[in-house]
Amino acid sequence: MQLLIFYGFGFLALFAAISMIMSRQPVTSALLMILNMFCLAGLYAQLGAHLLAALQIMVYAGAIMVLVLFVIMFLNLREKAGIVSKHGVMTQAVGIAAFGFLITALVSKLDMGKLPAAKAPGADFGSVAAIGRALFTDYLLPFEITSVLLLAAIVGAVVLAKRKV
Partner 1 sequence: MFDYTYLPSPNLLPSLVEMMLKIIFICTMNMAVFAPVLGWVERKQSALMQDRIGANRAEIFGFTVFGLLHVATDALKLLFKEDFIPRGADRPLHYLAPFIAVVPALVAFAVIPFGGKYMLWGHEANLVIADLNVGMLYIFAVASLSTYGAVIGGWASNNSWSLLGGLRVGAQMLSYEVAMGLTLVGVFMVYGSLQLTTIGMAQENFFHWGIFLQPLGFILFITCALAENKRTPFDIPEAESELIAGYFTEYSGLKFAMFWMSEFLEMVTISAVLVALFFGGWQIPFISHQGLIDAMGHLFGPNFGAIVAMLIHVVVFWVKVISWIVILMLIRWSLPRFRFDQVMRLGWKIVLPLALANIVVTGFILLAVR
Binding site for partner 1 (CB under 8 A): 2, 25, 27-28, 31, 34, 38, 41, 46-48, 50-51, 53-55, 57-58, 61-63, 66-67, 69-70, 73-74, 76, 118, 120-121, 123, 125-128
CA distance linking residue 27 with residue 82, whole number of Å: 13
Closest CA to 30 of 75, 63, 66, 78: 66
Residue 83: name the closest of 27, 37, 36, 18 by CA.
27
In the complex, least distance from residue 94 CB atom to partner 1, rounded to whole angstroms: 34
Smallest gap, in angstroms, from Cβ of residue 160 to partner 1?
Answer: 17
96 or 155: CB nearest partner 1? 155
Could you give the dihedral angle defined by the CA atoms of residues 89, 90, 95 and 100, in that order, rounded to the nearest 10 degrees?
A: 100
CB of 69 to partner 1, least distance (A): 6
What is the chain's alpha carbon radius of gyration, rounded to the nearest angstrom?
20
Complex with partner 1: residue 89 or 117, whichever CB lies closer: 117
The CB-of-51 to partner 1 minimum distance in angstroms stands at: 5
